[in-house]
Structures are given as structure tokens and as C-alpha cells.
């Protein structure tokens, strides 16, 4: 079937097979920030925002996303405050899981302009960074939040 | 949670010692960075793997009719097909040639490939793999180390050492054993010393198998081009893979090209023979382009960390000096040896710890069982023996009524001491590391022991590891006419930061700023041989090759400039602005220098270097060597934590970790490695464990396998860099990839021992295990 997906503000017309997951469609379209780490919604590395809410794209049917606004980390751009904070704080090692954290942080900051350390940890708990970059990730999210006017 | 690591970037002409921003930071955060699976490859057939349901069985029949009937399925390949094409050469492995890419005649673990479907798309390949039916004749499985040592049933009929390691050759054809390697260390008379000692402690220690869980899953593609084979694979050992595949397919080395981009983590998993023999064998024998992508569940059974049992004993005299130590180490290596025999030797050998011990005895064995193959994992088998010696020495200190830190300090190896293995110590500051971590957590300050149901305690541990020796590294440096540099090395960037620090080394020697040095992705057609990217060896070994290549380039530039200016080379030096003649104060920029030398824009100069290390092989009887290793890694950790006596939960208030890195090329990245290792070590202490039931892995998914999350962080995590320059390290530097992990689990367990008075000898310290220990204490 043919589907129109709005991704990072651009409409993409794409042929999908029945039951095709959002993860696979996004990767097929070249959005390489979206990555399978577990296939069961347990690691967070395939996280995207659908209408502003985080979803595990490995568990999401692409056909259900027609008519929604899908955001991936590529779409944030290098001047985005969260992206800039992650770069500035060195909140990455191998980098593979980081876009998932960036999307969760983006969602958090859309709901809570001034989170504290515990809010950050609560919200990012479902994402795994095996390199162990958690301390820098928390600092980056707090730094991004501090740039938001009170 | 607090920590300080990243200090941003600045350039004052000295690149080494600066916290340069990690290479490709922005694209990694945005997600546009290309990992290996993103590298464009020709249109491939996808592979779906049918896996064994039995731990040990002979294959009676494979029925692939149902699979072949599915539209999109092109072919089904079995081990017998590969055997017909390749014969025994299809059996590969870094230490033993014992592993077929697809099981042949017999399966040896649940999850072993039995048949492989080639289909036009991934979903069809995987669905068709489920439609294959295999008839087995069960054989008695060898499910654990004890059963393996009993010796009724054998995982392999005979041992098949590979040609790589000379000292394994004597094992060829040995039958009726599950032990594929035994290392022995004998120094002094440990039996007598134990008997006459004032105090002796014993322990039985167990560390379970664990999974690496690099978030990036494995993938590999292979296809043929005219006369050669192309391979794109998630591997941290491209040079090894090229050799292994060339041997398997009887090709010249220039007929195999292996490429990899950055890896999304590895931790030892993406090493040696993983997917490559399978895709290469199929692509070459079938002349078809193929691609294999693993699921997380398949990744769990691909490779694991060794489960290790250690029976150990340590004795001290009445003055509190350790006089004897004994360790019997058993590595469960699973169905295929992988690098297990080397792990048993080179990690088993430090099973008595980094202490002055005149009477030491170690037996370390690598043992086959019918489980997924265990291989290298950050620490290369050392964390498992550290679990034993650091728990045991804590008990010994307590028996003697001594402070566990002070007792260690008195007995630790110092510069110039001879280690129990017979090698003189250099640049391994255990005491500096120990002092740093104990000071960080306030070891000597008073501690409120009870707080409701929470009981507080402190613990400390040290770690020692030898760097892999001998090894070979090469570097080729190209300096372009515009004064930018292109560095060709086969070191694989997988999060450890090698692309960043190798660029810093070049920049420092040639006085180039950030962004002027680019490190090329490993490509065996382009980048020179490097033994492996593993074992924390790259900074020292490849770093040395890179530094030597850069110095050769600097000398060439000075020579050319001197000629052009008509002065002596000794009058010239390389500065940030170019080559400066001291006498004439003339300055030639590198751009002008190379332009006038070759008379064209865009020209290049090339320099290369090789750095090879040597060792003196250990004596077969005594295990002794006066040069067992090129250098040592030294680290320490200290923890302050509380145990909830009601729930068995552990809450870490402060975890401090220190490593002697010789010299930090990039302090921020060193601290990230120390922290990352500590967090992984904390996982091994509290969470990580693969559980088997009759050979079947029961928790091999990320829903069931527990890893440290952001909410499991210690309230405070302090990384500490200790610098004791190594006399032959590049700028004095050594690696740090494993140092932060090694002492963590025993440091935490020693703190638990301090808090609740119980020595737990089995990892991980789950709430259930702690509660059971508390309940038994009351009895």
C-alpha cells in the first residue's frame, strides 16, 4: 500500500508492505538516526516523536502514522539547543544510542521546561547507553533546559 | 549524580593533553553519522538462519522443502554444502580451528546455525528459516564446567589448534578431553608456605556468563568482484578477518577486502570470527551477494563473556605480609574455543593479584561445554579472576584485623618489583590509584553505619591486567599540499575515541590544529595491518606507530625546507606556521614547502611506521617469563553504599575509579572511558547475568536481560586519572579501555561485606541473593 508520512516537516510518499514497522520504513527512507537495538521496545535507540510523543518505532506500525507529524533527530538540526548541549557536554561515546536520548530529551523539555536531575533520569530511564554516558547525558539535558528562559 | 569530564576544546599548539572534542560529535548526536550497516553495498540476498534447538546432537536430516516453497527464497545452504565446497578449511577460529560457519554433522549449542536461507528480502529469509525442519539424534550434553571436567562426554572428538599460536600445536589431535588449554604458574613452594603461614583464607568464586550488549547489532555483507571478495562487516578486527577468510577460501590476501565504519559499541563482541566466515563462505562458493543482519536474540547466542569458577587461597604471616596464594581457575568457553585458550593463559596468570607474593600457584583451564561460545569481553577474562583475588584479600585483611586498604597497600607491587609471573613492574601505580580512590570517597572519615533498614559500608579493590603481547601495528600518514593530513590505520573507532586521539598525536608532532587531521575508516585494501582493536592496546601500540610516522614526516619536511633555504636541518624546526630556520628567521609554510617541492597543488607526501612488540614466552612448567607483557594496566575502585536489609537492594552513594594511564592524551575521553567501564562493571556487580536451563539461554532478550540504566547511577561517580608515564609509550601514554571495569565488582562486594558482614562469592549481587544471604546469616 502507499502511504504519505510527514517526517521532519516534509511529506514522503512511500510504498509499504503490510505490517511494515515505522523503524524499517524510516531507515528505508534514509533516516539512519533510527536504529534497531532490541526489536522489543526495551532499549530506546529507535525512538522517534509522533505528534510530539515518544514512540519505539520498532513497535509501531508505519500504517498507523499516516497523518501524523514524525520527528527524528536528524530533523532537529545542529542549532537545536538539545543537540548543541549534547555536543558541548561530550554526551556521547560510540554515539549509536544518542539520537534516541536526544528525542526523549526533546519530549521532556516540551513537557517540563525546567526539569531537575531526577526528572531527567525518570524520563530517560527506558533508553540504554552501554558505553555508560549517563552522567554526561544528564548534564546535557540540564544544560539544554537552562537555556530556556524561566 | 555528579561527574566532571568534558572541558571543551582549545588549541595552544600542544594537542596532546588537551580534551579535544570527540571526532564526529555533531553527526553522532544528530544521527547522520554512518555506521557499518549504513555503508552502501550492492543489492544483496538476505540470509535467514535456522538455529539448533538442541545443545548437543547429531544432525540426521534437514528438511528445507517448506522453506524452498516460499516465494522469494532462492536457496538453502547447510553445513554439508559448505563442507563439500571447502572441506575442513571451513573450520575457523583464532586459537582452535573448531567452528564451522554452519553446523556440520553435529550441533554443539542451542542457537547454532544449522541451515541458512537465501531470499530476496530480510523478512522472507527469516520467515523461511522457521519453515526448516531438522531431525536430531540427541547426544549427552555437557552443560557446565563440573560435567565437562568429569569427562564422560565430550563436546569435540579431538582438539584442533589453529596454526596461529605455536604453543598450542602440541594439543593437535588430543582426544577424550573437554579441556582445550591449561596454563600453570608455579613460583616458590606455595603448599609449604600456606601450611606454615599465620593466617589463611579460602574461597569458591563464580562469575556468570554475561552479554556485551553493544547497542548496534551485528551485520555483514559479502560479494565477489571479478577476482576478489568484498566484505563489509561490523568487526573490530579487520586485519584478522582478512587473514581468516583468505585461509578459509584459499585466497591470496589481496583477494579479500574487509571494510568497517565506526561501530556502535563492541566491548569485545565484534571480534575474530563472527558473521564473516558465514557470509564470505556463501558469497564465494555461491558467487552471490549476501547480507546478514542479526536480531538482538541472535546476538545473545553469538558470543558471551566466560562464566568463570575460581577456587582460591591466600595466606599471610604474622606481620601481615602475603606469603602464598593459590588459584584454580576454570573458564567455561562454551562450544567453540574462540580466544578462550589465550584468555585462560594471559588472564589466568594474574589470578593472585598485583601483590608481592613469593609463593604462588595457579592452574587456569579453558573448558568446552555445550553452550554458546564465550569470547573476549572488555577485560579479557581478568575481571573474573579479580573477583576472586580482591574478595579473598579483603577477607585476609579482616582476619588479621587490618584495614583492607592499608593491608593492600603494604603488599602491592611497586615500581621495580618482580610480579609473581616473573616480570619486573614498570609504570603501574597501584598505590597511587588506591590512594586516589580511598581519598575520593573519604575512606578514613567516620561512617554512620545504620539508617533505618539501610546498612552502610565501604569497599575497595585494585586490578591488574597485562596488555596483549606480542602484537603489530602500522600507520601510514599522508600529508597533503594544503597542510591537511590523512591518517591510514586499521584501528576501529567504536566509542573509545581512537579517531580523536590518533589525530591529536599527529597534530601534536606536526603542529597542526584540530580539524586538520582525518582518520580513514579501516579498509584492508587501504589501511595497513593492525593486530586487533582490543585489549586497550590502541593508544600505546597504534599510537606509537602513528607518532613514529608523524615524526618521520616532520623530519622529511625539515630536510626539504633546509634544502630549499640552504641551511642545515639542525637549524630548522617545525612550528605552527611552518618550518622555521633559526639562523635566518625564515619561515616556510607547509603549503609553500610541498608546493615548491613537487611543483603542483594537491600533491602528497607519505610516511609510514611499524610498531611491533615482543615477549618472552612463559616456561611451560612454571609459567614464568621475564617479559610476559609490554606493559601493565593498573586501576582501583572504591565504593560507599548501603544495603536495604528489608529488600536486599543496594544503593551506591559514591563510586570512585582510578586508572594509571601513563599520560592522558585526551583527559576528557580518558575520564569517559573510566566512567563507562565503571558503569559496565557496576552492571556486572548488580545486574548482568545470562541464565541457562539445560543449555537453553532463558533471558536472551532485552526484556529479560537487565542492564544498568540512567536510574541505576551511583549518586556520585568520580573518575581519577593517575599518570605515571611509560618509558616507551607515545608521550608516555597507555590505554584505558578496560581499567575502569576490572576492580568494580569486588569493590562493591567488599562494601557489601563491610555493611552487612557477609561475603557473597557469586555474582551478580541481586536483591534475591543478598536477601538469601541475610536470611542464612540469621540461622
Q: Is residue B177 part of a domain?
A: no
What is residue B165's predicted lDDT score, i.e. its pLDDT? Answer: 80
- The CATH number of residue B539's host domain is 3.30.365.10
Whether residues B270 and B136 share a domain: the answer is yes
User: Which of B596, B612, B628 delimits the end of a domain?
Assistant: B612
Q: Is residue B187 part of a domain?
A: no
Residues A68-94 have a mean pLDDT of: 97
CATH of range A77-146; options 3.40.920.10, 3.30.420.10, 3.60.15.10, 1.10.150.120 = 1.10.150.120
Chain centroid to CA A72: 6
What is residue B367's predicted lDDT score, i.e. its pLDDT? Answer: 98
In chain A, where does the domain assigned CATH 1.10.150.120 lie? 77-146
Residues B655-669 have a mean pLDDT of: 98
Interfacial A residues in 10-39 facing B (CB < 8 Å): 17, 31-39
Whether residues B328 and B446 share a domain: the answer is yes
Q: Are B2 and A137 inside 8 Å of each other by CB? A: no
What is residue B151's predicted lDDT score, i.e. its pLDDT? Answer: 86
Whether residues B459 and B515 share a domain: the answer is no
What is residue B11's predicted lDDT score, i.e. its pLDDT? Answer: 42
Residue B164 has pLDDT above 90, yes or no: no
Whether residues B347 and B438 share a domain: the answer is yes
Q: Is residue B9 part of a domain?
A: no
CA separation (Å) from B677 to B4, B44, B650? 16, 37, 19
Q: Are A121 and B710 inside 8 Å of each other by CB? A: yes
Q: Is residue B759 part of a domain?
A: yes
- Give the confidence band of B9 by pLDDT, cuts at 50, 70, 90: very low
Q: What is the mean pLDDT of chain B?
A: 96
Residues A38-44 have a mean pLDDT of: 97
Q: Is residue B449 part of a domain?
A: yes
Whether residues B402 and B451 share a domain: the answer is yes
Residues B556-561 have a mean pLDDT of: 98
**pLDDT tens digit sequence for B265-298:** 999 999 999 999 999 999 999 999 999 999 999 9
CA-CA distance, A43 to B461, in Å (whole number)? 31
A143 at interface of B, judged by CB pairs closer than 8 A: no
Whether residues B464 and B522 share a domain: the answer is no
Whether residues B269 and B356 share a domain: the answer is no
Please name which of B676, B740, B738 lies closest in space to residue B708, comparing C-alpha atoms: B676
CA-CA distance, B266 to B305, in Å (whole number)? 12
Residues in chain A: 150
B175 burial level (CB within 10 Å; 0-12, 13-18, 19+): exposed
In chain A, where does the domain assigned CATH 3.10.20.30 lie? 2-72
User: Which of B612, B628, B663 delimits the end of a domain?
Assistant: B612
CA-CA distance, B238 to B514, in Å (whole number)? 27
In three-state secondary structure terms, B504 is helix
User: Which of B260, B293, B326 delimits the end of a domain?
Assistant: B293
CA-CA distance, B589 to B60, in Å (whole number)? 73
Residue B728 has pLDDT above 70, yes or no: yes
What is residue B2's predicted lDDT score, i.e. its pLDDT? Answer: 40
**pLDDT tens digit sequence for A93-143:** 999 999 999 999 999 999 999 999 999 999 999 999 999 999 999 999 999
CA-CA distance, A137 to B6, in Å (whole number)? 12
Residues in chain B: 779
Residues B321-333 have a mean pLDDT of: 98
A67 at interface of B, judged by CB pairs closer than 8 A: no
What is residue A150's predicted lDDT score, i.e. its pLDDT? Answer: 60
- Give the confidence band of B4 by pLDDT, cuts at 50, 70, 90: very low
What is residue B507's predicted lDDT score, i.e. its pLDDT? Answer: 97
Total tally of structural domains belonging to chain B = 3
A132 at interface of B, judged by CB pairs closer than 8 A: yes
Residue B54 has pLDDT above 90, yes or no: yes
**Domain A2-72 CATH assignment equals 3.10.20.30:** yes
B377 at interface of A, judged by CB pairs closer than 8 A: no
- The whole domain housing B348 covers 304-468+618-778
Distance from CA of A40 to the nearest CA of B (A): 7
Q: Are B215 and A45 inside 8 Å of each other by CB? A: yes
Q: Is residue B194 part of a domain?
A: no
Q: Is residue B108 part of a domain?
A: yes
A137 at interface of B, judged by CB pairs closer than 8 A: yes
CA-CA distance, B545 to B537, in Å (whole number)? 12
Whether residues B452 and B538 share a domain: the answer is no
CB B275 within 8 Å of CB B250 = no
- Give the confidence band of B5 by pLDDT, cuts at 50, 70, 90: very low
Q: Is residue B33 part of a domain?
A: no
A122 at interface of B, judged by CB pairs closer than 8 A: yes
Interfacial B residues in 68-87 facing A (CB < 8 Å): none
CB A142 within 8 Å of CB A90 = no
Interfacial B residues in 210-229 facing A (CB < 8 Å): 212-217
Whether residues B414 and B374 share a domain: the answer is yes
- Give the confidence band of B779 by pLDDT, cuts at 50, 70, 90: low
In three-state secondary structure terms, B224 is strand
Task: Identify which has the larger pLDDT, A15 or B164.
Answer: A15
Whether residues B464 and B347 share a domain: the answer is yes
Q: Which residues of A touch B710 (CB under 8 A)?
A: 120-121, 124-125, 127, 129, 134, 137-138
Whether residues B376 and B274 share a domain: the answer is no
Whether residues B503 and B600 share a domain: the answer is yes
- The CATH number of residue B253's host domain is 3.90.1170.50
**pLDDT tens digit sequence for B182-224:** 999 999 999 999 999 999 999 999 999 999 999 999 999 999 9
Report percent pLDDT > 90 for chain B: 95
What is residue B167's predicted lDDT score, i.e. its pLDDT? Answer: 79
Q: Which residue of A has its CA nearest to B9?
A: A88
Q: Are B215 and A129 inside 8 Å of each other by CB? A: yes
B296 at interface of A, judged by CB pairs closer than 8 A: yes
Amino acid at each position: 500500500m502507499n502511504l504519505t508520512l510527514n517526517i521532519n516537516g516534509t511529506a514522503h510518499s512511500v510504498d509499504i508492505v503490510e505490517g511494515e514497522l515505522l523503524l524499517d520504513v524510516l531507515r528505508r527512507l534514509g533516516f539512519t538516526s533510527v536504529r534497531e537495538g532490541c526489536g522489543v521496545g526495551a532499549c530506546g535507540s529507535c525512538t522517534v516523536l509522533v505528534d510530539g510523543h515518544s514512540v519505539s518505532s520498532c513497535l509501531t506500525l508505519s500504517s498507523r502514522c499516516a497523518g501524523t507529524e514524525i520527528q527524528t533527530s536528524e530533523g532537529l538540526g545542529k542549532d537545536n539547543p538539545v543537540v548543541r548541549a549534547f555536543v558541548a557536554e561530550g554526551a556521547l561515546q560510540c554515539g549509536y544510542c544518542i539520537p534516541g536520548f536526544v528525542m526523549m530529551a526533546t519530549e521532556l523539555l516540551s513537557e517540563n521546561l525546567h526539569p531537575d536531575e531526577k526528572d531527567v533520569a525518570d524520563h530517560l530511564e527506558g533508553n540504554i547507553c552501554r558505553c555508560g554516558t549517563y552522567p554526561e547525558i544528564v548534564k546535557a539535558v540540564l544544560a539544554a533546559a537552562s537555556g530556556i528562559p524561566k | 549524580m555528579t561527574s566532571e569530564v568534558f572541558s571543551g576544546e582549545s588549541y595552544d599548539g600542544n594537542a596532546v593533553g588537551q580534551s579535544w572534542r570527540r571526532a564526529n560529535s555533531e553527526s553522532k548526536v544528530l544521527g547522520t553519522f554512518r555506521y557499518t550497516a549504513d555503508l552502501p553495498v550492492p543489492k544483496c540476498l538476505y540470509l535467514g538462519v535456522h538455529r539448533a534447538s538442541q545443545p548437543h546432537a547429531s544432525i540426521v536430516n534437514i528438511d528445507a522443502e517448506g522453506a524452498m516453497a516460499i516465494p522469494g527464497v532462492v536457496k538453502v545452504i547447510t553445513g554439508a554444502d559448505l563442507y563439500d565446497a571447502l572441506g575442513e578449511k571451513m573450520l575457523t577460529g583464532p586459537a582452535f580451528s573448531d567452528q564451522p560457519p554452519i553446523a556440520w554433522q553435529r550441533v554443539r549449542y542451542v542457537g547454532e546455525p544449522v541451515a541458512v536461507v537465501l531470499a530476496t528480502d530480510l523478512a522472507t529469509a527469516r520467515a523461511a528459516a522457521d519453515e526448516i525442519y531438522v531431525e536430531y539424534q540427541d547426544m549427552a550434553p555437557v552443560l557446565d564446567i563440573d560435567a565437562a571436567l568429569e569427562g564422560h562426554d565430550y563436546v569435540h572428538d579431538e582438539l584442533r589448534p589453529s596454526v596461529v599460536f605455536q604453543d598450542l600445536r602440541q594439543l593437535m589431535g588430543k582426544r577424550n578431553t573437554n579441556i582445550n588449554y591449561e596454563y600453570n604458574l608455579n613460583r616458590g613452594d606455595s603448599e609449604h608456605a600456606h601450611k606454615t603461614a599465620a593466617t589463611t583464607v579460602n574461597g569458591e568464586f563464580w562469575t556468570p556468563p554475561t552479554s556485551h550488549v553493544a547497542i548496534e547489532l551485528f551485520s555483514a555483507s559479502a560479494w565477489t568482484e571479478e577476482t576478489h571478495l568484498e566484505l563489509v562487516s561490523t568487526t573490530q578486527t579487520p586485519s584478522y578477518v582478512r587473514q581468516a577468510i583468505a585461509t578459509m577460501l584459499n585466497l591470496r590476501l589481496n583477494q579479500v577486502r574487509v571494510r568497517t565504519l565506526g561501530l556502535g559499541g563492541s566491548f569485545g563482541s565484534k571480534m575474530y570470527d563472527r558473521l564473516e566466515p558465514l557470509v564470505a563462505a556463501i558469497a564465494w562458493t555461491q558467487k552471490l551477494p549476501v547480507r546478514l543482519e542479526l536480531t538482538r536474540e541472535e546476538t545473545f547466542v553469538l558470543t558471551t563473556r566466560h562464566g568463570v569458577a575460581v577456587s582460591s587461597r591466600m595466606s599471610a604471616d604474622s606481620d601481615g605480609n602475603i606469603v602464598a596464594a593459590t588459584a584454580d581457575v576454570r573458564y567455561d568457553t562454551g562450544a567453540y574455543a574462540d580466544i578462550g585458550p589465550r584468555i585462560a593463559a594471559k588472564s589466568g596468570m594474574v589470578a593472585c593479584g598485583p601483590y608481592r607474593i613469593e609463593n604462588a600457584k595457579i592452574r587456569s583451564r579453558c573448558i568446552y561445554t555445550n553452550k554458546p561460545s564465550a569470547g573476549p569481553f572488555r577485560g579479557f577474562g581478568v575481571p573474573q579472576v579479580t573477583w576472586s583475588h580482591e574478595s579473598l584479600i579483603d577477607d585476609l585483611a579482616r582476619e588479621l584485623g587490618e584495614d583492607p586498604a592499608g593491608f593492600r597497600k603494604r603488599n602491592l607491587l611497586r615500581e621495580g618489583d618482580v610480579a609473581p609471573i616473573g616480570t619486573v613492574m614498570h609504570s603501574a601505580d597501584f598505590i597511587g590509584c588506591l590512594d586516589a580512590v580511598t581519598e575520593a570517597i573519604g575512606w578514613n572519615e567516620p561512617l554512620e553505619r545504620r539508617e533505618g533498614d539501610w546498612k552502610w559500608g565501604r569497599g575497595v579493590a585494585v586490578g591488574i591486567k597485562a596488555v596483549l603481547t606480542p602484537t603489530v601495528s602500522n600507520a601510514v600518514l599522508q600529508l597533503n599540499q594544503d597542510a591537511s593530513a590523512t591518517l591510514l590505520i586499521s584501528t576501529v573507532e567504536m566509542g573509545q575515541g581512537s579517531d580523536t586521539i590518533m589525530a591529536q598525536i599527529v597534530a601534536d608532532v606536526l603542529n597542526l590544529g584540530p580539524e586538520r587531521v582525518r582518520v580513514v575508516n579501516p579498509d584492508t585494501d587501504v589501511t595497513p595491518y593492525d593486530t586487533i582493536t582490543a585489549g586497550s592496546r590502541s593508544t600505546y601500540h597504534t599510537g606509537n606507530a602513528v607518532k613514529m610516522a608523524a615524526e618521520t614526516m616532520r623530519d622529511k619536511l625539515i630536510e626539504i625546507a633546509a634544502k630549499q633555504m640552504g641551511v642545515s636541518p639542525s637549524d630548522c624546526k617545525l612550528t605552527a606556521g611552518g618550518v622555521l630556520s633559526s639562523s635566518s628567521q625564515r619561515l616556510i609554510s607547509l603549503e609553500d614547502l610541498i608546493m615548491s617541492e613537487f611543483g603542483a597543488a594537491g600533491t602528497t607526501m607519505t610516511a609510514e611506521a611499524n610498531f611491533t612488540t615482543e615477549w618472552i614466552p612463559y616456561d611451560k612448567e612454571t609459567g614464568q617469563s621475564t617479559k610476559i607483557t609490554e606493559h601493565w594496566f593498573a586501576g582501583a575502585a572504591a565504593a560507599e553504599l548501603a544495603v536495604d536489609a528489608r529488600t536486599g537492594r543496594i544503593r551506591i552513594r559514591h563510586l570512585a575509579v582510578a586508572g594509571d594511564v601513563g599520560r592522558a592524551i585526551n583527559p576528557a575521553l580518558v575520564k569517559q572511558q573510566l566512567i563507562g567501564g565503571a558503569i559496565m562493571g557496576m552492571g556486572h556487580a548488580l545486574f548482568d547475568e545470562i541464565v541457562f536451563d539445560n543449555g537453553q539461554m532463558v533471558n536472551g532478550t532485552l526484556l529479560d536481560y537487565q542492564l544498568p540504566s540512567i536510574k541505576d547511577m551511583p549518586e556520585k561517580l568520580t573518575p581519577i586519572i593517575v599518570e605515571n608515564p611509560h618509558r616507551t609509550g607515545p608521550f608516555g601514554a597507555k590505554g584505558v579501555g578496560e581499567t575502569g571495569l576490572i576492580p568494580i565488582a569486588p569493590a562493591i562486594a567488599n562494601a557489601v561485606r563491610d555493611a552487612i558482614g557477609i561475603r557473597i562469592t557469586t555474582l551478580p549481587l541481586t536483591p534475591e541473593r543478598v536477601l538469601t544471604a541475610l536470611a542464612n546469616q540469621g540461622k
